[in-house]
Amino acid sequence: MLRPLGVDRRALRGSDLQPGDRSRSEIALAWFWVAAWIALVQIFASDLFSASETSRFIAPLLRWLFPDAAAESVVTVHIAFRKAGHFVGYAILAWLALRAFRASFERPLAWLAAASLALALVVALVDEGRQSLARSRTGAVSDVVLDMSGAASALLLAIAIRRIWSVRT
């Protein structure tokens, strides 16, 4: 729900909702989005999205956009695009998890962020472990570090935004 800056969510809803005071349907919906995003992450971690598969459509697109680009540049941008996917994908996962934990538990924001980060870490470890067993993928600790960088960045941003909003109200 969008609201103008400075308007308290509780005033809009007409009640005194606290972070943990949510209906079962709101909690279920929050966890649905977490589960859906985890499923999407697992699809992206499958053989369908290996480097050889994604290069079949990313490389031609890059060559079309930048016809004079060197082959090494196309490969570098392709790798950067794939690594950005790790960062952004786990940033979104951590943010969705934070929303779900916040809807489910009345705990300090730091606790909720730590739980969100732990969930993202478990998903990243399972993801990379599964990739290490796939024939066209390689599991890499560096990807887990990148995943956690994205998750931690999103959580730090969420905490900063929350603090700014709480100062305004």
Task: Give me the pLDDT at residue 94, please.
Answer: 98
User: What are the per-10-residue average pLDDT scores of the chain (169 residues)?
Assistant: 44 46 86 97 76 74 87 84 91 97 93 97 92 77 94 96 81
Q: Which of 121, 146, 137 lies closest to 45, judged by CA?
A: 137
Q: Which of 123, 134, 162 lies closest to 49, judged by CA?
A: 134
Cβ atoms of 151 and 90 within 8 Å: the answer is yes
Residues 6+ apart with CB under 8 A from 154: 90, 91, 92, 94, 95, 98
Task: Give me the pLDDT at residue 1, please.
Answer: 42
Q: Is the pTM for the entire model greater than 0.85?
A: no
Task: Give me the pLDDT at residue 47, please.
Answer: 67
CA angle (98, 101, 106) in 5-degree steps: 120
Task: Give me the pLDDT at residue 7, please.
Answer: 42
CA angle (118, 20, 90) in 5-degree steps: 30
Task: Give me the pLDDT at residue 12, please.
Answer: 42
